[in-house]
Amino acid sequence: YSDWFYLDKSPSTFEHDVRNYFQSHIDNPALYKEIPSLNDHHDESPLPSGCLVRYRAMVQDMADDEIYCTHYKVRSNDHHGTVIEKSAKFMDLFVCPPGYSIVVEEPPREKFGSRQCFTCVPIPNESQWVKDTYQLYFGEEMTMQKRPIHEQDNVQQLLSPLKRLKASAPMETTDGNSETVTKVEPVKTIAKSSCMVKVYDTTDDMILNTMVEFIGIYYEHSVIKADSLQAL
């Protein structure tokens, strides 16, 4: 994702290219399997901010749409003082490339947009055999391996409540406050925190308790969480 940022592209071109890239590549079996899953990621090996992730979750809460600044400007620190406008989509904080400074100014009204916000949690009480079946099904199906018809029907029935939200609606995830989770079976220590999921440009209707697989850009905002705690 960071490679996209450093390219000298206008905000509209950047957003167009990101959307096209997702739509044309996300169904590639090899690429899909390379995307790390938050559900299976260990807490002791934190993911870097700005990386692409998968997150299989249930919508726990729905907030009002969030208004955000869609564009911002950066100025080079050299004697040229070159000003470049960048897209603020798919991020919570303005990112400044090396050798540049953020131009502080009040953006015009047309530089604001809205995004849907959901608090999501890993699917409650999801047993290990369900996780294994999910991984087996999508791994084998996407590599075009043949399955018996009756086995396909069984797996489809098992996974039918799970809706997969793809790159037609790019989104970002922000790690939220975690709560103690009672384990129903001995499993490896996996990240159990909730995530704030922000979805862009989608007409898909999601309601409470909907099970979704999101694919998007992950951010760990420890500074934001600390500020929020101080405010409380």
Residue 217 is encoded by which pair of tokens? 């850009």
* pLDDT given at position 18: 81
Tens of each residue's pLDDT in the chain, 232 residues:
444 444 567 888 888 888 888 777 777 777 877 888 888 776 667 788 888 888 989 999 998 899 998 889 999 999 999 998 888 888 888 888 889 999 988 877 778 899 999 999 988 877 776 677 666 665 544 443 444 444 444 434 444 444 444 433 445 555 554 443 333 333 343 445 788 999 988 767 788 998 888 888 888 766 554 443 333 2
> Distance between CA atoms of 76 and 71, rounded to whole angstroms?
17
DSSP, collapsed to helix, strand or coil, labels residue 146 as: coil
Q: pTM surpassing 0.85?
A: no
* Residue-wise DSSP of 65-91: PEEEE-EEEEEESSTT--EEEEE-TT-
**H-helix or E-strand spanning residue 229:** helix 222-231
Cα–Cα distances (Å) from 144 to 42, 90, 125, 140, 147, in that order, read 29, 32, 30, 6, 9
* pLDDT given at position 75: 92
> Distance between CA atoms of 26 and 13, rounded to whole angstroms?
19
* pLDDT given at position 106: 80
> Distance between CA atoms of 149 and 151, rounded to whole angstroms?
5
DSSP, collapsed to helix, strand or coil, labels residue 139 as: helix
